[in-house]
Amino acid sequence: MDKKWQFPHRRWNPLRQSWVLVSPQRTERPWQGEVGQKAAPSGLAYDPKCYLCPGNQRAGGAVNPAYEGIFSFINDYAALLPDSPDLPQSSENAAPASPLLVAEPARGLCKVVCFHPDHSLTLARMTQPEIRRVVDTWTQEYEDMAGLDWIKYVQVFENRGAMMGASNPHPHGQIWSSSFVPDEPVAEVAAQRQHLARTGHCLLCDYLTAEEAAQKNEPARIIFQNEHFMALVPWWAIWPFEVLLVSRRHLGSMPELNGDERDGLADALKRITTRFDNLFQTSFPYTMGFHQTPTDGEAHPESHFHAHFYPPLLRSATVRKFMVGFEMLAMPQRDITPEDAAQRLRDCTEEHFWPRA
**Enzyme catalytic residues:** 172
The burial class, CB within 10 Å (0-12 / 13-18 / 19+), for 54 is: middle
Q: How far apart are alpha carbons 312 and 324 in whole angstroms?
A: 13
Which residue, among 246, 243, 245, 242, has the nearest Cα to 335 in the 3D structure?
242
Which residue, among 183, 188, 175, has the nearest Cα to 146 in the 3D structure?
175
Q: How far apart are alpha carbons 59 and 130 in whole angstroms?
A: 27
Task: Indicate the residue type of 222.
Answer: I
Q: How far apart are alpha carbons 102 and 98 in whole angstroms?
A: 7
Q: What is the largest CA-CA distance in the chain?
A: 66
Q: How far apart are alpha carbons 203 and 189 in whole angstroms?
A: 10
Report how far apart, in Å, the C-alpha atoms of 272 and of each of 55, 124, 231 are: 31, 8, 8
Q: How many C-beta atoms surround the C-beta of residue 46 within 10 A?
A: 13
- Extract the runs of DSSP E, i.e. beta strands, from 63-134: 71-74, 108-114
The burial class, CB within 10 Å (0-12 / 13-18 / 19+), for 94 is: exposed
- CA dihedral (120, 123, 127, 129) positive or negative: positive
